[in-house]
Structure 1
Amino acid sequence: MPSSLCDREEPLRGEIGRPGMPELTDVQLSAGSSAPLEWHDEVAGTNALMRERFVDQEERFVPFHSIATGSQTAGRGRLDREWVAPAGASLAISTYLEFSADAARESIGWVPLAAGVALRDALVELAPTLAEQLSIKWPNDLLLNGKKVSGILGEMLGVVDGGERFACVVGVGVNLTTPESGLPTERAIALDSVSVEVTGRALAATFVRKLATRILELTATNGDADAAGLRADLLLHCSTIDSDVRVTLPGDADLVGRAIGITAQGNLEVRDARGEVHAINVGDIEHVRPAGRIGEGE
């Protein structure tokens, strides 16, 4: 793994800068380099746009190149759930990442988790009052006072450099304000509900910087989340740990138990009623009861 993921000098392709095209700025990263941030007035989906340009147009992005918008009309979350960002009410941002083939084996599973930690870092920097209100729900949600304020979706894009490197995109959607029509579910919440005002542009740039720091630390340790400090920070802020959960697994099978930890690979450890521990790397997680309930009075 090179010392920096952002050491390429390839020019961007496309027509950015022409009338009707996105605004392009540079985000200064802690590694001393920068990454382009595109701000679009409106897109169907930021992940889909990045995938289309990478796959169909064969565009080679520099690591941490990001596409963002305040109006996403046909976004998609995990399990193909709709993620639509009403104009001005939300931020949708997708960031391009690369890993060497060796680092990918250890790092890819940590991408959405690193994004969750980075997003929390970014929001607390912009609004310190959120520090005690934000938690991370494994593997892909950020919760504000127990309700979903953000969803995260990581996807593989393909290989580059003849298979020596893997490319992926991590997409994030954040509810900034509550639309007049309300949020889609009672389990959703926006930042304005706790009197926090954060602009999408400020959050986008801060998030990219925080994500770059987390990913660069992870790759510098060859994917060792403990050495990078990532697993400790995740466990510190993960509300899933020590909660009773129901995991909907592929095939609609359910696993009910206590979430007791996160493995070195980023998998969730769940202990069932028989005491057997399962390492979960994919599944829909529901917090079914507060911590401290399994086994009490049963």
Structure 2
Amino acid sequence: MNDVLVSAADVEALRHGDEAPVLLDVRWALGDPHGHEHYRAGHLPGAVFVDLESDLAAPASAAGGRHPLPDLGALQAAARRWGVRDGDDRPVTAVAYDNTGGLAAARAWWLLRWAGVPGVRLLDGGLAAWIAAGYPLATGETVLPAPGDVTLRPGQLPVLDADAAAGLARTGVLLDARAAERYRGEVEPIDPRAGHIPGARSAPTSENLNADGTFKPAATLRERFAALGAAGASPVGVYCGSGVTAAHELAALAIAGIDGALYAGSWSQWSADPSRPAATGDSATGTEPGAPAG
């Protein structure tokens, strides 16, 4: 067990003890609106469903991007509904998981830590790891005996706005967690323009994971990020399409012992602003000029 991850065996042991954590099923994937149905068909016993679109994000807008940070009151109400409590000093207070290697669950992990909830972890390997270990699944809805009473304290982790992200690309390290072809501007299936923030460095989130959906070892991740210039000497920021998988990159950085800040608006916000430049192509050093906005 480390400060970011727990294994399926860890969770199985914890849920049978006196300090069972809140279990959060964040079943979401781009283009798949059936997360709640997947949850009802089979989830970790005791897990509650977390709707990424409504619980972990505010409504989409050109000004805020596709998944802006949620309203604090709405997030607090959701966290209480999930059973998160104030004054919880258990080593592991909540475990988030999904069935996509943590790409969605990391948003819950990051948001709760940003909001001052200690002891939040990701289930390494997610639902697939749980099933592979032979542990049981429950179906239907989990009904908790009582809601939580947590009072959230936002701002415990750093965030960037568009100006700060642009500055960090020049003076520090700004990582683009999207697929490499989207970074290069070869394709853009979702957002208004193709390309990337000038000076950002391509660091696809998929490269944080092993073939089985578990995170690579800390030493391997440190080597990966060091090759991208993120070795702890310069400030690091991360963005993606809408601020979801960027949280996964921040989890990988944390495993490697590197702090990072989230540009929550990400490319969906940046590309919707015609005054913001967009760069295309590869950039080993992050110093290519931005193409004119179009």
More helix by share: 2
Fold similarity call, TM over 0.5: no
Indicate the structure whose relative CO is greater, using CA pairs within 8 Å and at least 6 residues apart.
2
Q: TM-score, normalised to structure 1's length?
A: 0.28
Q: TM-score, normalised to structure 2's length?
A: 0.28
